[in-house]
Structure 1
Amino acid sequence: MNKLITLSLIILLAGAYSCKTPVKLGKKDRIVQIDTEYGAVKIKLYDETPLHRDNFIKLAHKGFFDGTLFHRVIDGFMIQGGDPDSKGAKPGVMLGEGGPGYDIPAEFNPNLFHKKGVIAAAREGDRVNPKMMSSGSQFYIAQGKVYEPEALEALVVSINKKRANAIFENQRAQYKDELTKLQTGGEFDLFNDKMEEMKHKIDSLSKVQTLVLTDAMREAYTTVGGIPHLDQAYTVFGEVIEGLDIIDKIAAEETDDNDRPLKDIKMKITIIQ
């Protein structure tokens, strides 16, 4: 009897220990599965974005996402989730501000773009988040739309104009007080130096954020579709490899004025490999 009790205790302790065993990070070829009432979505996480990959794996291992909602859904655009505040949230409550308490540095890659089915990190806007840091947990899966070739080229021109203007306005706002002080004080040499510094920052940011279409991007956006205006502005860190139709089903759900589905769509995320 004592041996039986001892053996049972060992098994229980072993089980408790295994539940607390930390997940191995840095592992490549990661695949996760998002289970919903509509079916399962399998996602391959990109090794080119290791910070986002490992963070997603860490949170999934902890069960962070389980029971959370797809809280923002826009048909023809994307479906968004990952807000811990959505667990048990009352109907009609506006969501989208929750997270794990940290952000992740952007991992932009020109070869990873917003074709339909990619998963990307949500984030705060440029004015409060000039480094484009990603939310620690909130993500979206792209749906988007299919573009005619001419419309796609015109869109890219428009995107780059808007980005250039936004970069200029953001930098001008950041330097405004200092430049005004130098000019008012007659410190013209320092004023000119500061203007050159601002110009250099604008040029550097413009190089990073200017959208240049590759052949792969043209092919994707004119066939399966996507969201080109988010490229090089939000970190793409994986793509759907099974269950793409589930994205369309969720995106078609009826929503309130805040784009929250009227019916709660819960998720559970499991690490497949």
Structure 2
Amino acid sequence: MKSYLFTLLAGLALTTSLFQCAPKGDGYTYAVISTEYGDMKVRLYNSTPKHRDNFIKLANEGFYDSLLFHRVIENFMIQGGDPDSKNAGPNQMLGQGGPGYTLPAEIGKVHFKGALAAARLGDRQNPQRNSSGSQFYIVDGQPLTEENIQNLEQNFNKTYTPEQRQRYLEKGGSPVLDGEYTVFGEVVEGIDVIDKIAAVPTGQANRPARDVRMTVKVIDK
């Protein structure tokens, strides 16, 4: 059965016309993802226009409202955006739903803590690494060490600028996902909300034992 759960290395399971929204103010479009644990304000990247515009379109349609963060892993990520989660029963398996289309990959940005990225099917089913049309994850992660970064560069063919290295050392993230998934935004306010959601008790398939629902609204800035 196919599932939009992305994988971490060898085991950690991780179109239609688009509504164009002109960036305002500082040139970026922002959205607020609201939960009972607080609000996360996200900046959407202009360097990933297909993912940016699709997220704006779905948010403006109310697509994400009342959906769950259906999969959370502390110190790694929180995942949501499956439309099947809106009316899901307590034991229902989630992670397979979407809007009926995928998005072409726009891979480039890295997975700092707070990165907003698109979930997708694994490489075997999806060699082009197309993204789910709606499911996304937000990186939790922990600060890295110099040894961690050197290992990634030497053994996993990853390269980081001095600025990227410093941010991973200070703020953390999930760099093992770099180059594998499309990062299309980042949390700029409410980073503590990620930690709160990631720490909730979970059951089967890392689904929170008590539902964590969201609403998403596009804002000017």
- TM-score grouping bracket, smaller chain normalisation: 0.7 to 0.9
Quote the offset at 1:157 in angstroms.
Answer: 2.6
Aligned match of 1:40? 39
Quote the offset at 1:23 in angstroms.
Answer: 8.9
The alignment status of 1:27 with 2:22, answered yes or no, reads yes
Aligned match of 2:82? 83
Q: State how 1:204-215 maps to structure 2 within 5 Å.
A: 211-215=158-162
In structure 2, what residue type is equivalent to 1:259?
A: N
Structure having the higher strand fraction is 2
Instruction: Note if contact 2:18-2:53 (Cα within 8 Å) is conserved in structure 1.
Output: no
Q: Deviations over 1:187-228 (max 9, x none)?
A: xxxxxxxxxxxxxxxxxxxxxxxx212112211111100000
In structure 1, what residue type is equivalent to 2:172?
A: G
Instruction: Note if contact 1:23-1:61 (Cα within 8 Å) is conserved in structure 2.
Output: no
In structure 2, what residue type is equivalent to 1:255?
A: T
Aligned match of 2:177? 230
Aligned match of 1:266? 213
The alignment status of 1:55 with 2:2, answered yes or no, reads no
CA distance in 1, matches of 2:102, 2:48: 15
**TM-score between both structures, scaled by the size of structure 1:** 0.71
Structure having the higher helix fraction is 1
Q: Percent identity?
A: 53
> Unaligned regions of 5+ residues in structure 1, if any?
1-21, 161-210
Aligned match of 1:166? none
> Unaligned regions of 5+ residues in structure 2, if any?
1-16
Q: State how 1:240-259 maps to structure 2 within 5 Å.
A: 240-259=187-206
Aligned counterpart for 2:137 among listed residues 117, 136, 140: 140
Aligned match of 2:104? 105
Bigger CA radius of gyration: 1
SS in 2 for 1:222: helix
Q: State how 1:119-268 maps to structure 2 within 5 Å.
A: 119-160=116-157, 211-268=158-215
Quote the offset at 1:144 in angstroms.
Answer: 1.1
Quote the offset at 1:81 in angstroms.
Answer: 0.3
Quote the offset at 1:128 in angstroms.
Answer: 0.7
CA distance in 2, matches of 1:96, 1:157: 33
Task: Indicate the RMSD between aligned Cα atoms, in angstroms.
Answer: 1.4
Task: Check 1:23–1:125 CA distance in 2 against 1; reply closer, same or farther (3 A cut).
Answer: closer
**TM-score between both structures, scaled by the size of structure 2:** 0.87
CA distance in 2, matches of 1:258, 1:239: 25
SS in 2 for 1:253: coil
Instruction: Note if contact 2:19-2:54 (Cα within 8 Å) is conserved in structure 1.
Output: no
SS in 2 for 1:229: helix
